[in-house]
Structure 1
Amino acid sequence: MKPIQVGLVADPAAPTDIAHQLSDLGPPGGGDREAWDIEIVSEPFSMDCEDVDTALARLRDHSRQHEWDVVIGLTELPFRDEDDGRYLLAETDAQRRMAVLSLPALGGIGMQARARHAVRALISGLAGNTRDGHGEPLPRFTNRWRLLVGMVLANRPWLLVPGLKSALVAALTTGAIATINSTVWLLAGSLSPWRLIVATIASIALVVGWLVIDGELWDRPDDNSPEAREKSRLYNTSTLVTLTIGVIICYLALYVVNLAWALFVLDPAVMGGYLGVALGYGDLFVLAWFVASAATVGGALGSGLESDEAIRAAAYSKREEERRSRLAHERT
């Protein structure tokens, strides 16, 4: 029996990585069912388009070129249904045996397993394999919160600070100097816990705001339509959540680094004698807390040395980075 020719067209970076992990995918149920011969093409088929119909049209061109029986597109682009405004998990064209799968709509958690299940369901349905009950139905829509989680995780917030080398150097330098500064010791000792908490929140908010402004990361709607405004709200929310998570991770890392540095180089008794106050090792934890806030602000100043392209590359997935760069170029 001739195998079904399946094409997986994936946007570069994460979608392509996921597609390659699906190369061994087979039909549900196994047995004597038609096998799948899967071919993977890495190409930005969703580039310069914000609607699912354009993406499907580009997949149709690929299908004709490669003579596939079924073609599935994998993208990190979120799509909305034009009729009711709900967010799409997948859009299919059963007549032409094509589908587009929005990976962020899977929710991000357990992406590999979810993508595997979704692609198998799509191929089974498009190839006509659900007639005997072996295929599993795939929901067409997803909710906004699951999509948002998927978009944030696709942006890899844990890689934000390592991607901004100037900011990282500035933060570490600020922390190292502040740790051995007597004035900083006095300030840290004079602050109550709630003031330290306020300093933490303020430093994180300052960095997030600075990155948004300096990197021109705020998305503006193309027009005044409700659809355009909702799309901008979604992108801006994912930006703020991504940056906030990334900066919080940076803050915690700076706290650990500064605490280790303080424990290594400082003797609280010596510093206490110099300042004329009684100090113990417990005060080093308070000092590291205060210094982490100061170092975070120092990192924000260091990010000013980064280019807008570098900030976008650190803050976004490959697909979103290209989209933001294109929009920025169109507005200049």
Structure 2
Amino acid sequence: MSEPFTSGSEDPPTLIRRIRDRASTENWDVVVALTDLPLHADGHTVVVDVQRGHGLALLSLPSLGGLRLPTKARQAVEEVVLGLVDPEAGGDEENRRRRPLPAPLAGRIVPIHPHPAGDEDAADLRYVVGGRRGRLRVLGGMVRANRPWRLVPGLSKALAAALATGAVATVNSTVWSLAEALSTPRLVIATAGSLATMIGWLIVDAQLWHRPSKSSPEARQRARLYNASTIVTVGIGVLVCYVGLMVINFVWALFILNDRVFASMTRSPLDATDYVTLAWFVASVATVGGALGSGLESDEAIRAAAYSKREQDRRRRLRSDHGD
């Protein structure tokens, strides 16, 4: 069953209470809820919250990382269910808190470890992910949920502007001379600058930057995580577009450039290195043109390309709740 979470229920205790109420209404014995929300509590990133007394658990999918997610999710759900139906897991509350879940969840799936749940929490057993490696896994899981490869076809007008810019620049003799004179470090700087321009323009123009709704440390941590996932998502999509532009410009140059004309303008013979250098430089110029062309896209089109459907709905509810 699928049920959207509102923007105000992103904390584990609230989610656990909603799951418990739903389980009671449906008369379910065991419930495992999966969410693509990154969950935080007491300064830690939550992997799974378990309430053995009611036979329910809440599992955050981004904490499992972005690679082999279906396999990891199946393993995690299996171990959680085995822990919930284990006859030895019964007894008093203290015994349930001390008894860990099976080993695969605690070590081989992701680098997680048990952590005591606070008195105000609805869970009696919690596993969290820690360290830099764990935070990178959570970020990878969020980026995977956004599906950054969808950004390429979603920016049709920006790509059209970039292709037009690249086609014109490839036949410009001034561009030939500039590409011939540029060193590799300068080309790398041009690449970084053009990519940063495109990424920054998309984020600012489509209002993709997430601002915390509260001043609490957890809200700020959540905002940093969302913004990092946005930057990586948009960055991957823009990088794919850049490589595609470079390949197209290289093929275009092979058909268009003339050896004698090029040599007369640049005073150097045309060789394979010149084709690569020109395609590389033109891709940077075209990416800046694509950034300007992205202004022709609607904000909703860019959000649809940058975020998953659930993330779009969640952010739409956030804007509606805060009157933005």
- TM-score over 0.5 for the alignment? yes
Pair 1:79–1:126, CA change in 2 (3 A): same
**From 298, 309, 319, the counterpart of 1:307:** 298
Shift of 1:47: 5.5
Asked if the contact 1:78–1:147 (Cα under 8 Å) also holds between the matched residues in 2, the reply is yes
Q: Does 2:138 align with 1:147? A: yes
With normalisation by structure 2, the TM-score equals: 0.82
Deviates most, 90-99 or 196-205: 90-99
Report the residue type matching 2:13 in the other structure: D
Task: Choose which of 201, 207, 210 in structure 2 pairs with 1:216.
Answer: 207
After TM superposition, the score normalised by the length of structure 1 is: 0.80
Gapped runs of 5+ residues in structure 2? 90-98, 107-126
Q: Percent identity of the aligned residues?
A: 52
| Structure 1: segments with no counterpart, 5+ residues | 1-40
Q: What SS does the corresponding residue of 2:154 show, helix, strand or coil?
A: coil
Offset, 1:187: 1.7
Query: Would the aligned equivalents of 2:7 and 2:317 in 1 still touch at CA under 8 Å?
Result: no
Aligned position for 2:118? none
1:67 has 2:21 as partner: no
Q: Aligned-pair RMSD on alpha carbons?
A: 2.3
Structure 1 stretch 119-128 or stretch 137-146: which is displaced more? 137-146
Is the CA contact 1:174–1:294 (under 8 Å) kept in the aligned structure 2? yes
1:297 aligns with 2:288: yes
Q: Distance in 2 between matches of 1:269 and 1:98?
A: 75
Which residue, 186, 196, 220 being the options, matches 1:195? Answer: 186
1:197: how far off?
1.1
SS of structure 1 residue aligned to 2:246? helix
CA gap 1:130/1:186 in 2 versus in 1, 3 angstroms: farther
- Matching residue of 2:96: none
Residue of structure 1 aligned with 2:228, choices 237, 241, 251: 237
Distance of 1:253 and 1:130 partners within structure 2? 57
**Post-superposition CA distance 1:274-325 (Å, at most 9, x none):** 6654322321110000011011111111111122222222112233222222
Rounded to whole Å, the distance in 1 between the matches of 2:218 and 2:288 is: 36
CA contact (8 A) 1:175 1:292 kept: yes
How far the C-alpha of 1:191 sits from its partner, in A, is 1.4
Give 2:272's aligned amino acid.
Y
**1:281 partnered with 2:281:** no
Residue 153 of structure 2: SS of its match in structure 1?
A: coil
Alpha-carbon contact 1:45-1:59 (below 8 Å) kept: no
CA 1:235–1:130 in structure 2 vs 1: closer, same or farther (change >3 Å)? farther
Which of 57, 61, 64 is the equivalent residue of 1:103?
A: 61
How many positions carry a matched residue from both structures? 289
Match of 2:9 in 1: 49
- Checking the alignment, whether the CA contact within 8 Å between 1:259 and 1:288 is kept in structure 2 is yes
For the residues of structure 2 that align with 1:145 and 1:111, how far apart are their CA atoms? 14
Look up the match of 2:18: 58
Q: Larger deviation: 159-168 or 271-280?
A: 271-280
Partner of 2:156: 165
Compare the two structures and name the one with the higher helix fraction. 2
8 Å contact 1:268–1:281 — kept in the other structure? no
Residue by residue, what CA displacement relative to the aligned partner does 1:229-284 show, whole Å, maximum 9, x if unpaired? 22211111222222222222221121112112211333333433466543223211
Partner of residue 27, structure 1: none
Equivalents in 2 of 1:51, 1:223: separation in Å? Answer: 13
User: Structure 1 residue 162: deviation in Å?
Assistant: 1.8
